[in-house]
Structure 1
């Protein structure tokens, strides 16, 4: 697969001046906004329906090969890296905020909805052709509703219920596929998922393997062994990867100086941080910032 090379400022999102908005997008919008190899932190929810081609994407450090006839969920406050996108890649989807969900009356306290919206298990699901067709039909209905003039009778209701239909059908697929996914989890998989959840929450302040092992009630050696068997990577490599991804995101924020980035990541000083960053990337934080 050949990598694309386009400029992008952030994950696809509704209009800046309308946080309650919902919007639809296609591969043209996607390709304009995604740079292969860049790291992004989502601020909105999105549902992606992949209809052709494939992409390789890391979600909280776990890598997924997303292929034709599949569903992919983007979750707020989650880190993504798109490492490969095929030239024939085609995708349709919608993006929305937590405020929009609340406005439509989705009950976020419902356990099943919370599970879907927090990405409790995995974000990627291979679906069958019939499910793909259904979701695409619902996407088209929503797209048409969003394009209607405000003067159309019941336009608010048309937009709302078109969105909810696509949302709940996607959530239903998520829940149904996760029934079997939960049952299949073995101890190694449980430890891996538990570790990655902890890492996404604590990587800024904790870089010790001992900390994560203690939280999971296992020894550091056992945790590393389980991760190595399941992913081919060590606990330390996951931790380093999370810190570097977080560092790159913070370095892109020009309101923070490098000393503040180091402090945010719990380094003793910016020199220690710079040494760590260069060890794992080959360049200094200043060089990274200058290039981005």
Structure 2
């Protein structure tokens, strides 16, 4: 979907080095209630790993792979590898208990590669299951957290791995339960869904409505009208927002020059990229970088 050699993602080593969050061989977990709010909710970023999170307090609106989602107390959020996450509105009292682990931690487990479950999670990354299921998720996080921060346990990693595998099985149970077969969690692939998937794959290279309209065999005019009807925004607005979000992510996590980032996002030169970025953010790329230091 994107070239991993050219973009630093929010992976376990990055979280450890940039934010000082403790990690254990491919596993990270929040220690204080506001760890996630302080460190991981300010800018768009790609996630290179799995996130299992429970909203305990506060509210948040965010885009997950360009689709708006809402977090409220009792919401469970599951993020898969290669996901783009863009915070939109975060309350000051947000508390999300979060477990972040690498794909490599579970790569040899058949469960972690079940395509049908992945597809359902990608469609519905934020769900509000039954109260009993929420309590089980809280218990898992609490137990994993206590073990994670316990000292002098030579078998800690092995125990954590087994507990995380059990949690992943619980996630599978929720996503295959009757409650996710209800109408609220049913949808056929709409034109907007197809567009957003194409946009996720091609946005670095393709910035024109014509390209995406051609991919779904529609005229650009009809295509953008239908996208506006179903999403509330025309196709070009979506394209610009996604390219801007990716540019912000690169400016945050990369040491490369603005010229190199312009090339990454297929602008003809740095000047054109700077004009585009300022038009959509009110800041030049350099000014934006200064705001996050």
Question: Which structure 1 segments of 5+ residues have no match?
Answer: 1-9
Give 1:40 shift.
2.2
The normalised TM-score by structure 1 is: 0.82
* Contact preservation (8 Å) 2:52, 2:99: yes
Farther-moved stretch of structure 1 (141-150 vs 242-251): 141-150
RMSD: 2.9
Unaligned ranges ≥5, structure 2: 1-8
2:140 aligns with 138
Q: TM-score, normalised by structure 2?
A: 0.82
Q: In structure 2, how many angstroms separate the alpha carbons of the residues matched to 1:100 and 1:29?
A: 23
Matched residue, 1:257: 257
**Matching residue within 123, 126, 129 for 1:124:** 126
Q: Does 1:44 align with 2:36?
A: no
Q: Which of residues 112, 115, 118 in structure 1 aligns to 2:116?
A: 112
The answer to whether the 8 A contact 2:37-2:94 is kept is no
CA distance in 1, matches of 2:86, 2:270: 25
Match of 1:65 among 60, 67, 70: 70
Preserved contact between residue 45 and residue 85 of structure 2 (Cα < 8 Å): yes
| Residues 92, 183 of structure 1: alpha-carbon distance in 2 compared, 3 angstrom cutoff | closer
Is contact 1:57-1:65 (8 Å) kept?
yes
Q: Which residue of 2 aligns with 1:98?
A: 103
| CA distance in 2: counterparts of 1:269 and 1:98, whole angstroms | 36
**Runs of 4+ that moved beyond 4 A:** 14-19, 148-152, 154-157
1:5 aligned residue:
none
- Secondary structure of the residue aligned to 1:48 is strand
State the shift of 1:107 in Å.
4.3
- Residue in structure 1 matched with residue 214 of structure 2 by the alignment: 214
Change (3 A) 1:109 1:193: same
Q: CA deviation at 1:178?
A: 4.8
1:147–1:254: structure 2 CA closer, same or farther, 3 Å change rule?
Answer: closer
Aligned positions of 1:116-265 closer than 5 A: 119-149=121-151, 151=153, 155-176=156-177, 178-180=180-182, 184-186=186-188, 190-265=190-265
